[in-house]
Amino acid sequence: MKTMNVAIIGTKFMGKAHSNAWANTPRFFDVGIKPVMKVAVGTDMAGTQKLADTWGWEEASVNWREVVARPDIDIVDIAAPTNLHYEMAMAAAEHGKHIFLEKPFAITVEQAREMYAAAQKAGVVHYVNHNYRRVPAIRLAKRLINEGFVGRIFHWRSTYLQDWIVDPNFPLTWHLRKEVAGFGVHGDLGSHSVDLARYLVGDIQTVTGFTSTFIKERPLPGKDAATFSAGSGESTEMGEVTVDDASFFLAEFANGALGSFEVSRFAPGRKNYNYFEIYGSEGSIAFNLERMNELQIFSRNDPAYAQGFRTILVTEGGQHDYIANWWPPGHTIGYEHEFHHAVYDFLKAIETGGSIEPNFYDGVKEMEVLTAVIESAESGHKVSVG
């Protein structure tokens, strides 16, 4: 079987999720190209070596530029903070590598457009990891929409809520610094909601937004405090939060539908509440990531005496996307499986000379929407996207 060498940049939350997917996708899916886990790249050698040893990366490195330029690397997986996406993706494209890139896509629309152009010019497969497109229940939602179950779409309504920074002592990690993260929760979770809305409803034409930063200063982090598990600040010295803590916006879609989007990391009790509802002329769909194996649907075409929301358990192999490669019906899957589905489709795109969505084009579209919302929030006006 043909093999391809993969280098991953980033060793923590996404580094682990992606490593798991590169290691195990060929064990569950019939891949035409076998990924070889060649190099893991991080910022500290000990931590990077630990990831390599745990997941089976052959080498560890702290020099991503050198690794991306290596002729024996075929695929570059970028799982580093957002400010690095642009230079890493540009370098990967320049060296002709296929690119598997985390979201949010970039810091600015200009960067996003350059990244898309560079990847297209290089003729490589490019992918932005909006992993939720590969939840089987969301695939079912897409299928039902395509088949007319919802009819003409009137409304998109989404919330993506978490609570991990509600404690004012949570330290000022990179997620809360504009120069590293670009946006706050607006980019972190909002980019996922925008991508899902574009996938399921269509392009967004105008936006009217509000953002707020509830906690304006936080303790500076200890040197290991980079992730969700950072805990309380380890310093009495304070630093300024330079991104949004919450973002709400209203949208007009090109097809005439209206949408509302709410994202916050200040919603106590909501852990990963990626929830959306779609209402149309024939029926409705609702999804909640915290119950990710289920899809709720309502049809106006059911007999009037038997109408009501019903819940589909989306675990039927042969009926529901990706499921046949996992377990028998009802033996539910989880968050990590989305990453396997993405790796499988990414390898398939390389093998067939095709493409995968969402890709860098979708990354540009995502950035245009996110940026327009910030412009609207700052100006107090409705803003056209793009």
Ligand X SMILES: NC(=O)c1ccc[n+]([C@@H]2O[C@H](COP(=O)([O-])OP(=O)(O)OC[C@H]3O[C@@H](n4cnc5c(N)ncnc54)[C@H](O)[C@@H]3O)[C@@H](O)[C@H]2O)c1
Q: List the one residue from 8, 52, 67, 80 that touches ligand X (CB under 6 A).
A: 80
Tokens 């629309």 found at: 109
Quick one: DSSP state of residue 169? Answer: T
Check residue 135 for interaction with ligand X (CB under 6 A).
no
Q: List the one residue from 7, 39, 79, 109 that touches ligand X (CB under 6 A).
A: 79
What is the length of the chain? 386
Coil, strand, or helix at residue 300?
A: coil
* Adjacent-strand bridge partners of 209: 249
Q: List the one residue from 6, 8, 10, 372 that touches ligand X (CB under 6 A).
A: 10
Q: What is the distance between the terminal CA atoms of the chain, rounded to a whole angstrom?
A: 43
**Do 249 and 268 contact (CB within 8 A), yes or no?**
no
Task: With both helix axes pointing from N to C terminus, report the angle between 13-28 and 335-352 in degrees, rounded to the nearest 10.
Answer: 60
Q: Report, in Å, the least distance between residue 257 CB and ligand X.
A: 25
Sheet of 153-161: strands edge to edge? Answer: 310-313, 294-299, 283-288, 273-280, 153-161, 258-264, 246-253, 204-212, 383-384
**What is the pattern of x (binds ligand X, CB under 6 A) and - over residues 184-213?**
----x-------------------------
Q: Which stretch binds ligand X (CB under 6 A): 8-16, 200-208, 271-279, 313-321?
A: 8-16
Q: List the one residue from 19, 82, 211, 274 that touches ligand X (CB under 6 A).
A: 82
**What is the pattern of x (binds ligand X, CB under 6 A) and - over residues 24-53?**
-----------------xxx----------
Sign of CA dihedral 5, 130, 26, 13: positive
Q: List the one residue from 6, 11, 356, 367 that touches ligand X (CB under 6 A).
A: 11
299 vs 280: CA distance, rounded Å:
10
**Do 99 and 79 contact (CB within 8 A), yes or no?**
no
**What is the pattern of x (binds ligand X, CB under 6 A) and - over residues 307-326?**
--------------------
Compare residues 13 and 326 and give the one whose CB is closer to ligand X. 13
Q: List the one residue from 74, 102, 245, 368 that touches ligand X (CB under 6 A).
A: 102
> Could you tell me how many residues of this chain bind ligand X (CB under 6 A)?
24
**Do 193 and 278 contact (CB within 8 A), yes or no?**
no
Look up residue 151 and give its amino acid. Answer: G
Compare residues 103 and 340 and give the one whose CB is closer to ligand X. 103
Summarize as ranges the residues that interact with ligand X (CB under 6 A). 9-15, 41-43, 64, 79-82, 84, 102-104, 129, 131, 188, 226-227
